[in-house]
Structure 1
Amino acid sequence: MFAVAPSALAAGYRLEAHESVGSTNALALERAREGEPDKLWVVAAQQTGGRGRRGRPWATPPGNLAATLLIKETPDAATAATLGFVAGLALGDALSAVVPTAKVALGVDGADAGRSRFELKWPNDVLADGAKLSGILLESSMLEGDRLALAIGIGVNVVSHPEDVPYPATSLSRLGAKADAGELFLALSDAWVDNMRLWNGGRGLAVIRERWLKRAAGLGSAVSVRVDGRVVRGIFETIDEACRFVIREDDGSRLRIAAGDVHFGAVASAHA
């Protein structure tokens, strides 16, 4: 069912595929501790013990995609963390490749016509028509010799999506797409190679940032961010050179946020 793209094979990527696992991230880090080399994709069509940010459960019923890439050759923890943005871009590219009619026209005046259906929500979600389609979770483990093993987990709602969540969610099936998890993963493994080449060990982060901002959800709109036990409201202005979220508060001051829960528009007020 699963296979890596020829471009990924040529670049040295390998595949460990399963019908069902507890957590692809946990399994990838286990493989790292066992001495598995860099560039291993651990993929499953079902995940029974997956989780999202802050330990929240992430269900992967049969037919959805749970994929984790094990990376061990990273310069440092801060630079490695920016691979989450590479993952978002790679998934966005893969979705655009396998899903037809990936453009939507919004607004009475057509100002947003042609904008990609798939947008990137800081720091780690992929939205489709404003609803959550995918989540990305980075987890790490220190190995002998102070080496860092990084698991880049990507979960995608392919055939189904959760109903009992406090935010809009969707799936490829609901969008009318016919692609299955195997087709999406093939495209993802190919798109990853291109975006990883642009990232270039962190030296190309400026290029990644520029590409990410072109797909950013909510850019220029009202947001609230819950961080360190308080809620900050303002305008989502940009992400900075370190990919931190930059919010312009009502008094004109700018706050750079490294981690937090972001809500847009009316949802921002409801969650604040």
Structure 2
Amino acid sequence: MAATGSTNDDVAALARAGEAEGFWLRAETQTGGRGRHGRNWQSPVGNLFTSTIIRRQTGEPPAASLAMVAALALHQVAVAYGGGGRVRLKWPNDVLLDGAKLSGILLEAVDDAVVIGFGVNLAHRPENLDRETASFAHAGLGAPDPAAFLSDLADALAYWLGRWRGEGLGVILREWRARAHAVGTPLRTTGADGHQIEGLFEGLDDDGALKLRLADGTIHILHAGDVFLI
């Protein structure tokens, strides 16, 4: 579609109405796009704005780990579109290009489904944010066609979703770690209460939570919050 308020809102309504897993919706632009915690998401024409539906099944890993499944899928496509080794993951689902934020991934529970929204900076990158941002065009990689990029993203998500269901969370965490910034990377975390903690990236625990080594050598476990590279 040409424009909408939010692809996540549209797809959530379709999920409640019974739309099947695998449905994707793409908009050229959004008037009410949002990121985590309701933050405004800039939506200029030329970038990718899309959402899809995952139907929960018995015996699956925790729904929250779909954030890493989505990140692996987007990482795969970003690498294929020229990013190569310049693309890395940051907990839990940020895809970085040259260390700067390339995308946003928003998961929202809707009854027995999870709606996953992707905003990917293809032609444009937002400015005046609290972190560095990147786009394919700004990085000298050209601006991919949003429709073609979506087709490849849908295939990649289906692949990683199949591995998540068939092989379990352990393989997803292992593959995520292999694509993340190095152990020992300095990070700053901000919890829901605004409290900030600085430390070194120590990897993930068995549930996918972030492990942060503090200055005194203790390990802090973060289950939710914002993470920034220092």
For Structure 1 versus Structure 2, the TM-score category normalised by the shorter chain is: over 0.9
Residues in 2 aligned to 1:226 and 1:76: alpha-carbon distance in whole angstroms? 32
% same residue? 40
Indicate if the aligned counterparts of 1:140 and 1:151 stay in contact, CA closer than 8 A: yes
Partner SS, residue 82 of structure 1: helix
Indicate if the aligned counterparts of 1:136 and 1:155 stay in contact, CA closer than 8 A: yes
Partner SS, residue 232 of structure 1: strand
Residue segments in structure 1 that go unaligned for 5+ positions in a row:
1-17, 104-115, 143-147, 266-272
Larger Rg over CA atoms: 1
Residues in 1 aligned to 2:59 and 2:52: alpha-carbon distance in whole angstroms? 17
Offset of residue 94 of structure 1: 0.8
Residues in 1 aligned to 2:140 and 2:147: alpha-carbon distance in whole angstroms? 17
Partner SS, residue 62 of structure 2: helix
Does residue 219 (structure 1) correspond to residue 202 (structure 2)? The answer is no
Offset of residue 75 of structure 1: 4.0
The corresponding residue for 1:110 is none
Under a length normalisation based on structure 1, what TM-score does the superposition of the two structures give?
A: 0.79
Residue segments in structure 2 that go unaligned for 5+ positions in a row:
none
Residues in 2 aligned to 1:96 and 1:234: alpha-carbon distance in whole angstroms? 28
The corresponding residue for 1:195 is 160
- Consecutive aligned runs of 4 or more in structure 1 exceeding 2 Å deviation: 73-78
Indicate if the aligned counterparts of 1:25 and 1:68 stay in contact, CA closer than 8 A: yes
The corresponding residue for 1:210 is 174
In the alignment of these two chains, the number of paired residues is 228
The corresponding residue for 2:48 is 65
Indicate if the aligned counterparts of 2:123 and 2:135 stay in contact, CA closer than 8 A: yes
The corresponding residue for 1:94 is 77
Query: Counterpart of 2:132 in structure 1: which amino acid?
Result: P
Does residue 20 (structure 1) correspond to residue 3 (structure 2)? The answer is yes
Indicate if the aligned counterparts of 1:98 and 1:187 stay in contact, CA closer than 8 A: no
Residues in 2 aligned to 1:124 and 1:76: alpha-carbon distance in whole angstroms? 23
Query: Counterpart of 2:207 in structure 1: which amino acid?
Result: A
- 129, 153, 162: which is aligned to 1:165? 129
Query: Counterpart of 2:81 in structure 1: which amino acid?
Result: V
Offset of residue 161 of structure 1: 1.0
Residues in 1 aligned to 2:194 and 2:60: alpha-carbon distance in whole angstroms? 25
The corresponding residue for 1:131 is 100
Query: Counterpart of 1:27 in structure 2: which amino acid?
Result: D
Offset of residue 22 of structure 1: 0.9
Partner SS, residue 40 of structure 2: coil
Residues in 2 aligned to 1:235 and 1:50: alpha-carbon distance in whole angstroms? 32
Indicate if the aligned counterparts of 2:87 and 2:96 stay in contact, CA closer than 8 A: yes
Offset of residue 229 of structure 1: 3.3
CA RMSD of aligned residues (A): 1.8
